[in-house]
Amino acid sequence: MPKVKTNSGAKKRFSLTGTGKIKRKHAYKSHILTKKTKKQKRNLTHVAIVAVVRRSCRSPVVTLVVVLMYGP
């Protein structure tokens, strides 16, 4: 059986924190920035957390993201 490959798109877009949470960047910060206010652009700079993972009850979506990033 072939190896399960890591999803390259997920690998580039998400990263894990030290406590196991999944970090992501905000959208709408790459182009057409002249129309956006300073406040809007500043708030889009910060990193967001996808979901809080509890050890006893993992969301299927969070599990899917982790599997896509790092393999089973």
Q: What is the pLDDT of residues 48-58, one digit of tens each?
A: 888 665 555 55
Q: Please name the helix (run of DSSP H) or strand (run of DSSP E) that holds residue 37, with its range, or none.
A: none
| Tokens 């490959």 -> residue | 5
pLDDT (mean) for 59-68: 57
Q: What is the pLDDT of residues 1-38, one digit of tens each?
A: 777 777 788 888 888 888 878 888 889 999 999 999 99
β-sheet with 48-49: strand ranges across: 15-16, 22-24, 48-49
